[in-house]
Structure 1
């Protein structure tokens, strides 16, 4: 890629000025080269983003290392105050953040305004409050007092995805900062803009220089040197399994703890006693964010006795979905993020159809909209061992399989290498408990979907990830746990 030394350092996106440079040590830093960031809505170039290298990675880690001692020794009440100040800044700029992120990743503006950006602020408020609520249990061992504490670990590298850029970034940034760590954030190159706005908001809130650093660029150019750096004490990554394998191997050389939230191929089990209207509504909801949701229940497993009725109701409800410009209030499905992602999605579908699958609905790009719009698709007649059932598509593509018994339903549900989430729809509470206990999944929803409480653990089983975050589990990861054992005697008279 040619250099762009004259590229503007501030782009105007949806009427909002966005600095396109890195944020390192409390100041903006340019790179010798840039890369283009395009909107998935219409393909227009939004900005040219500073393209980080090993040099920027080194500078960011150095800044985080320098800032760490003072931030680690900052009293918890002051850290919590600053996190609340960042949340205040997010809420003050909620409309700007929503507009920029919609332009950048194509998700619905209404969702950003009403759910996603308020959740960004909540992430900071929750972990600020949780920091002050952390218990420091004292245990007695034959008169000796054991006191457990959470100590800041050091500089953290946080690598975040493009499907919910700011919300998933702050899901990591907030607990890392609350725990007393400094941060180097590397956002996905397909949707980096709101991370830059977050750096501005944090600085305006008074976060000390070097506590939060932002480095933009490609994984092999800047992500790799970040995760290989010996001064990094925690790495949290959300993304693909192949990338996670490389990160884990690199981190292992430095014995750097990692938290990995990876792919999913989650099932939705619909039993004959289910409320079919509820089941259909939950199933159609899996097209949210154009299917670009790691937790999405993309495998619909339906009791054979109600499969025909379920399918008829599903197709009728899906036909009501409006696909189009995500900035419009009436839109239900926007575009997919990038031409490479659209090609990947269509490749899965075309290979499935060639192998004998049947497109109940959809089956290809939307010819009326063109661009990156892919029609919501449901594939039937798919085998359990087929690619489209076993691999994460990450687009608006669901598969439909049937079962006759609970045992078969569980076997189908557990029959992939993933284990991120599962959804059950049944009218029988005992069945729900019985089936939930047999599913391999980090989260199981019963008669609902995407209900998330930050107090609860979140993460995946099998190749869906390593570790759990949320509540005290986040502090367990982002802190070094210490136990101080004190004898009941041995004190001097002056003690």
Structure 2
């Protein structure tokens, strides 16, 4: 098999990146484009041997990288950001080909955010400090020590952006990294390895191992030399990772599923509320934060639904490389089958299809809205991860909060209201890691990010990321007892 493939004119190495070298596995897996189902290439299919070699490379590189001064680590991270910015067009077209997200979004938002991830954590590293404090004349000094090799397992819906959301703080903290990208969208992780090497990141500090989690996951997450594991994905996979990491008590950061609500009160700006609701179809509904449960006050439900249908049916679905496209394909035939299964079972259980409810040609699913759904139904309780929304109504603020909090998840919530006091009151009662009021998807890297309940464990962002990727140390020094007086 060839060591490289060409995707839209961009050359991508199909081998792993371990210890500063490209290494192939005996077997491969096929990477398909969701745009048209075409084969992009055969990718090295990692085995426990490659996974173990990557951890060994990360362990060997750790002492030197951990001892690298903060300013030098920051300089290299900025150099990686420079490399990303020089290749935004290449990264964008490769990722669109690989995961089907809109090319215009990659160009204008996603890939610039990739570069920003590196710049932000490089800069945050340089100002990371805790003010010394006194205890009975003794001085307390808090420091963040690099923890060690870190395994980062990332999803397919925003492959490079979500990978670097983990890679950047881990490297800034002084850790070495083994990155395992999702097998449905592995290509930009390989390009990142090239960019990092060209930026001067030492060999072994970043390693990339491709393959199936079921085949190499345990070799990574159960390894005694791994000191941190960060995972974004499903709850069942998180449970397996946690069980694998438990014997070594390896600290975990888990960003998992969501079933987030959008609460629309009668006093809201209705046009804004409709815009927020339609925005939940972004990335073909493959967004963990998406507010897929629309909760609307009864008195405005009919008008809200009318306006929603008008706006949603005007969305253009098609080739994500077309600038005019609003919704692209879903990632994989298996995911499309899962989405349709949720919808058909909901209809069989009594749900009414307002729009959509069916597959389209290829790997495209029509934007769907379902009503007449019970709170305890599967379609309301389980994450679909596709362009499928439900609409329920409420009569009182108390009922709205009850419905909003009525799942096992707690990743995010969105609230549309014209009453500031109500916004504060309801936000305080919502179980969610992030609450947006009259807006959606406004993200700042210095804010804590994560989920409650089954939506995750821990928080990342700003200092919270360094708290996870480091071992915090408090040094307490007595005021006397010195032999010298310098």
TM over 0.5: yes
Deviation at 1:416, TM superposition (A): 0.1
CA deviation vs aligned residue, 1:459-495 (integer Å, no higher than 9, x gap): 0000000000000000000000000000011111366
CA deviation vs aligned residue, 1:374-421 (integer Å, no higher than 9, x gap): 000000000000000000000000000000000000000000000000
Deviation at 1:136, TM superposition (A): 3.2
Partner of 2:279: 285
Partner of 2:406: 415
Match of 2:54 among 38, 56, 60: 60
- Distance, in Å, in 2 between the alignment partners of 1:146 and 1:319 is 61
Match of 1:435 among 420, 426, 429: 426
CA deviation vs aligned residue, 1:93-127 (integer Å, no higher than 9, x gap): 00000000000000000000000000000000000
Match of 1:488 among 463, 479, 485: 479
1:398 aligns with 2:425: no
Partner of 1:238: 232
Partner of 1:169: 163
Deviation at 1:252, TM superposition (A): 1.2
Partner of 1:180: 174
Match of 1:10 among 4, 8, 18: 4
Partner of 1:389: 380
- Distance, in Å, in 2 between the alignment partners of 1:316 and 1:310 is 10
- Distance, in Å, in 2 between the alignment partners of 1:190 and 1:259 is 22
Deviation at 1:319, TM superposition (A): 1.1
- Distance, in Å, in 2 between the alignment partners of 1:401 and 1:26 is 53
Matches within 5 A, 1:91-490: 91-366=85-360, 370-490=361-481
- Distance, in Å, in 1 between the alignment partners of 2:219 and 2:182 is 15
- Distance, in Å, in 2 between the alignment partners of 1:206 and 1:27 is 14
- Distance, in Å, in 2 between the alignment partners of 1:419 and 1:283 is 18
TM-score (norm 2): 1.00
Aligned residues: 486
- Distance, in Å, in 2 between the alignment partners of 1:222 and 1:202 is 24
Change (3 A) 1:407 1:335: same
Q: Secondary structure at the match of 2:129?
A: coil
Gaps in structure 1 of 5+ consecutive residues: 1-6
Gaps in structure 2 of 5+ consecutive residues: none
Q: Secondary structure at the match of 2:262?
A: strand
CA deviation vs aligned residue, 1:176-225 (integer Å, no higher than 9, x gap): 00000000000000000000000000000000000000000000111221
Partner of 1:4: none
Partner of 1:3: none
Partner of 1:47: 41
Q: Secondary structure at the match of 2:72?
A: helix
